[in-house]
A and B are shown apart, each in its own frame.
Chain A
Amino acid sequence: MELTLKEITWVQQAVAGDHEALGQLLKGRSDYLYRTAYLYVGNQADALDVIQEATTQAVKTVSKLQNPHQFFTWFTRILIRQAQALYRRRQKETTMATPPEQVAPPVDATAHLDLLAALQVLGADYRQALQLFYYQDMSISEISQLLDVPEGTVKTRLRRGRSALHDQLGGNYYG
């Protein structure tokens, strides 16, 4: 993600301890942050919780940020980790009928599912891989590093995730 000169200045001020600058920086990209969080957790309340917690973490650790140009890559990682943690908590709170190895639950073929809804019913690993690859524009290598799994595993998750979406959405959109 390219930063503007103004954003670079805010990053430097944030690194130096200016919380207001950090706030301006994040609020300026609120669309991207909200959508990223929402894709993980699937509802507004949890997405806002994730953003709030990620911001708290960022305030605590932003002084360690070395390259201002990497700010949003760095923050996205924090956001994703917070979203993963919340998603895991929600999974524990809910009785899951889906076997862990299943990519996506069977759906009613007549039901209308748009992309967001289709992503939500995917297994977390597959949804995560697809989101990082197609929305965060990360490479397979970067996803592998972020998730700490082999590149082959990322490729498998992408392939199976695409296949599951194909089954649900039809056509060759993700073919």
Chain B
Amino acid sequence: MDEQETRQAVHDQIDQLEVPQDLVAAAIQTGIEQAASKQTKPRRRHLGRWILTAAAAVLLGVGGVAAVNPSVSQALSNVAWLTNFYVFQGGVNHFSTLHVDGTAKAMDQRVTSNGVTVHLVEAYYNGRKVGVAGEVTGLFDHEKADEAMAFDLSGTEPENLRPVTGGFQATKTGFRFRNVYEVKSAGLPNQIVLPINIDHINGIVGRWNFEITLDQTKKTHALAQNAYDLDIPGGEITPMTMTSFHEGAELVYRSTSTGGADVLGFNSIKNAAGQELIDSSDGFRVGLGVCYLPLKEPLVQGKAYQVICEIDQKTSKKPTLVTREVVLWPAD
């Protein structure tokens, strides 16, 4: 019996273990309620209010970079910084996505006030999402780990962004943080100003504002809004726009249900070489209606791709997967 067969045999045997569904559901619910009851607001110690602004204008994308901020053109490498961070996180909640994504730019901007320094290390803007990573050092009582976990970036996002994911991790000297925001509106702005407000760190309240101007070169093509000829049960998918960015691309489509589906969309797009084109490094939202699908590279007009459509019916626990060959960007 080879390794794969052994694995299958183990799965087969273990999968016979009877599961008390109601009790498991109750345990999960109790676990959620238990966490909610334990989550309390951290204690705040107001040390007065200070507002600092560092105008750190950075142009991401192509052209004119050095004229705006010379440090960007130096292409500072943060690989060591991020690698250390990754190791520190134990590989569970890694913070390497910004760098791995390939679009992050070194910022290296610092603001210090009353002994607390906020170091904005890098940022990226892919036209749909904005990500920042940095480090906060100073004035930390590392003996009080629970209280130190009260680091909070809430309220950082301006009106046209909403937080998607974020996290922070204590280091020997402070905290490292990474936050990703999504552009709210359907339109893609060319520029975004992102202040970084830190509401409280270890009981200290203050604001360290970095005004970051992010620019993204993009080219959007409106597609003929005819539903793809997919012949899938329960609904249809209609293309809307195809946008190419300096790094990556985005296909916008609309999915509509014609009977019972509550999720309908592409979960895989492969080119002729079998390479997956959907960029899931930051995730993407799906459901019925308009979907903004991040791609690793722009689609080619008139070319056929192998797609897998997923249809989740309200009445079924398992989704239906349908593989099709389709021209996603039809010729004009």
Contacts and interface: CB of A to CB of B under 8 A. Distances in A.
Given A31-B19, A34-B19, A12 B93 contact: no
Nearest to A17: B163
A74 B1 CA distance: 31
B19 A6 contact: no
Contacts of A77: 92
Contacts of B90: 145
A33 B24 contact: yes
A70 B36 CA distance: 23
Contact of A172 (B1, B13, B14, B178): B1
Contact of A12 (B31, B263, B281, B285): B285
A68 B283 contact: yes
Interface string B301-332: 00000000010100001010000000000000
B287 A66 contact: no
B286 A56 contact: no
A34 B20 contact: yes
A153 interface: no
Most buried by B among A22, A56, A61: A56
A6 B312 contact: yes
Most buried by A among B7, B13, B282, B317: B13
A9 interface: yes
B10 interface: yes
B145 to A, nearest CB: 14
B156 to A, nearest CB: 14
A77 B32 CA distance: 18
Contacts of A27: 24-25, 28
B97 to A, nearest CB: 6
Contacts of A51: 24, 27-28, 31
A160 B214 CA distance: 56
A5 B319 contact: yes
Contacts of A74: 92-93
Contacts, number: 160
Contacts of B13: 114-116
A155 interface: no
Contact of B166 (A33, A39, A63): A63
B35 interface: yes
Interface in B9-43: 9-11, 13-15, 17, 19-21, 23-32, 34-36, 38-39
Interface in B129-185: 163-169, 178
B167 A63 contact: yes
Given A60-B35, A134-B10, A66 B95 contact: yes
13 contacts: A15-B165, A19-B32, A23-B28, A34-B19, A38-B17, A51-B28, A55-B35, A59-B31, A60-B35, A63-B166, A67-B94, A67-B282, A135-B10
Interface of B: 1, 6-7, 9-11, 13-15, 17, 19-21, 23-32, 34-36, 38-39, 90-95, 97, 163-169, 178, 262-263, 265, 267, 280-287, 310, 312, 317, 319
Given A6-B262, A173-B1, 16 more contacts: A4-B267, A4-B319, A34-B19, A35-B19, A51-B27, A52-B31, A55-B31, A55-B34, A56-B32, A59-B39, A65-B165, A67-B282, A68-B280, A115-B13, A145-B90, A173-B9
